[in-house]
Structure 1
Amino acid sequence: MKIAVIGAGYVGLVSGACLADFGHEVCCIDRDPRRIENLRAGRMPIYEPGLAELTAANVSAGRLFFEQDLATGIRDAEVIFIAVGTPSRPEDGHADLTFVYDVTREIAAHLKGYAVIVTKSTVPVGTSDEVERIVRSLRPEIEFSVASNPEFLREGAAIGDFKIPDRIVVGVEDDRARAVMAAVYRPLFLNQAPMLFTDRRSSELTKYAANAFLATKITFINEMADICEKTGANVQDVARGMGLDKRIGPKFLHAGPGFGGSCFPKDVRALIKTGQDFDVPSRIVEAVADVNERRKRRMGRRIIAACGGDIRDRVIAVLGLTFKPRTDDMREAPSIAIIQTLHDAGARVHAFDPAGMEQAREVLGDVTYFRDPYQAVAGADAVAIVTEWESLRALDLKKMHGLMRRSILVDLRNIYVPEQAVAAGFTYLSVGRGDLEA
């Protein structure tokens, strides 16, 4: 099939490369000329394991192309995916659909024959209906369908998620669109991927509901961690006891500094706004958003308390900056609020991240960056582990201790064994497991 993907960002590029790897002919379209130039030269705009190799293989095979001009890119396309950004509007938290509707008008202007226009971007309920209305108002004579096909890609594991998905949700309103979308994903049928066809509005809401529920699990176990700290329980044991219940499951039950990233915060806010718009407030989701934002700052205050309450002119080393491992994404990362809290208290911050330091420089001011974690901790009064990168899971704690001015380790991801940290000479603080002093 000939497929066009509009938007060569995270979702669009991963989707386009994977669809090309299925054997489809795919054109990824982006209005940014520099991005298109870089992609044609094999330079990726994002850090995602395996994406550069997958893209290069399909470009070499003649199945994947990059184009700035939308009219050229969608020519003869049977399916046109809209994968542009839908950021939160600062004034009310609602998803900003400007890019979606602008692209829709461009598609309408250049559509030559029947195609299925698919909203791949995360969009509020009713967006696909509006996409259809716009196209019909501009081109009443043209045949087309509109479908909703939300993405469920985890940053750092996106290629695997696309090729071996838990489910594929497709919202359609006619049989022709259903048949076309089934053909798009036919190569996955050998993996018996569950394909769920719904109406478009149910498909759109499924994405928001899923992310809000996962965000709720994270927030819940973080609150349980707080209770564990006051009662002497161990949150990791509590989480394991909960997760062994098949009705609950173990995923997203890892206590930490709160969730961030490009999806959960934005989607939680958008779902809250949707509930308000339809006069059905989502009180649980509202609480999740509030508790999560407060937690990030609270983790900064925890580091300050570990240092005796005064960190003016002290050096705090922060290891791990991105919102999760295996990505360079700094969007709403907990490290941002934590470092701001440390700065407000007068600290000097040294930082290291395996992939996100270039992006961190764009959002974090007055931070000194280092090439490896040992350089970052040298001379520090305390070290905080904020992101659980694999390369930070087996640091030489005795070596770190010898490099630091004071021996305080705040492990906000619970990746070290407390007794081993204490044996290395640290005063060790974790999340929901109690504190130990050397």
Structure 2
Amino acid sequence: MIKSCKISAMKNRIFLFAFSLFMLTFSSCSGVIGYGVLLWNVGEKEIPDGTVVPVYLKSNISKVYVIGLPETKEKIEVPLWKLSVPESKSKALKRAQKYSEYKGKYAFCILDGLPIRAEKMNTSKQVYRLRKNEVVRTLYKEKGVSPTNGGVPLSGEWLHVLTDNGTEGWCFSYNLRLFEMNLDGTYGIGSEVVEAQKADETLERILSTVWYPEYYRGMISKKQIDLDYIVPVYGFDSGYVSGTTKISLPNLNVSFPYSEFEKSDNGDYKAKDAPVEIVPRNSKFIIVKYIDEGGKPKTYNFVSLDENIKIEEIVSAEKNRRQGLYKSIQTLGPDFKSGNYGTLSFNDGNIFRWSGFSKLVPSVIPSGSKGFGIVEMKYFLDGTLKSSWDGVVTFHFENASREVNFLYKKEVNGLRLAYANIIEKYDDSFGRKYSSVSLPANSMVLFFQK
């Protein structure tokens, strides 16, 4: 009996709840609760954004408004985010007027991760990050603090935008491309350029690839890493993420904000608003043309590397290799003596001490050199030298006017040295020096016993 009463009471509560919900829906639909402005067009009914409509019901459960269609008695549901908060008709009309400048205007995002912010400044809190090619509705514009690049303000303006998940906020227009939305929801005037760029797989690949100076490939393949010229920041940055294209080389460091790369009739890509042009050669090789401040054209070759190649790791490995060479000499000694050329010691920290070297001054060691300094192992051997010698040891004497280089060979009972000649050639295109090692015909050979 008690169980039956409980079931009966529960049925009554369910009935009363359903009846109350029905009466609420009926009463709400029978009268207008306010007026709203469509923030996003209703393509299936061809109702444009900016239209002021009566609102009959708000359902927080279904997350929809029930609105009336203009000049008809038809009522439809629209998502809550597509409509401004219901208010009086006069206020809704005033709001529609505020949005009128950008009526029917939407925008593609051309930069992956472009932030939407709470306020009109780049330091404001991020409320959303746009995906590349994501579409937003542009509602209105206001003045704010313009973002800068290298101290130069970017061109554009702050737009109050709406995403299709209902997020609103401020986005600077530099990385947005405006277009008109047709009544049926298809993309209209202005969308052609963005759609063409989206379809250009070659440009998409170029913009998303990390490009390094061409000489990196030669260094890596020969395993001759010059730490003065292989630096992680050197290369060509298309600006795919930052909106700023950059060329960073030993003799050049320039950057330019740009809006887009436009394809020319010959298949090259010219940066809009920047003196940079990309000439694709294949999937791993491009030529970048740059017009300097004096109007002189410059050309640079860049390559992409395999994904498993990390410049930071290559630099670290080369530093370890050089240190290993030094340690091998130090371990053999660390002290070496010669009856004619003094005593040579290799100490921790790549510090050397050399006493009694006067017979080598000034023909080999510069006059005024102190008897201590720093050792480097930075040069590489090729050809027959590589088969006869272990490498090159470079001495930087304190107070000396130049470095002193010796070929070295580790022997069972000591260290053999021969004065080496370093030949340097300058590559003007990249601003780097190529070095090669040679052994002069009359080179002095020294032997130090351990």
Fold match (TM-score > 0.5): no
Greater percentage in helix? 1
Task: Point out which structure has higher relative CO (alpha carbons under 8 A, 6+ apart).
Answer: 1
The normalised TM-score by structure 1 is 0.25
Greater percentage in strand? 2
Decide which structure has the larger Cα Rg and report it.
2
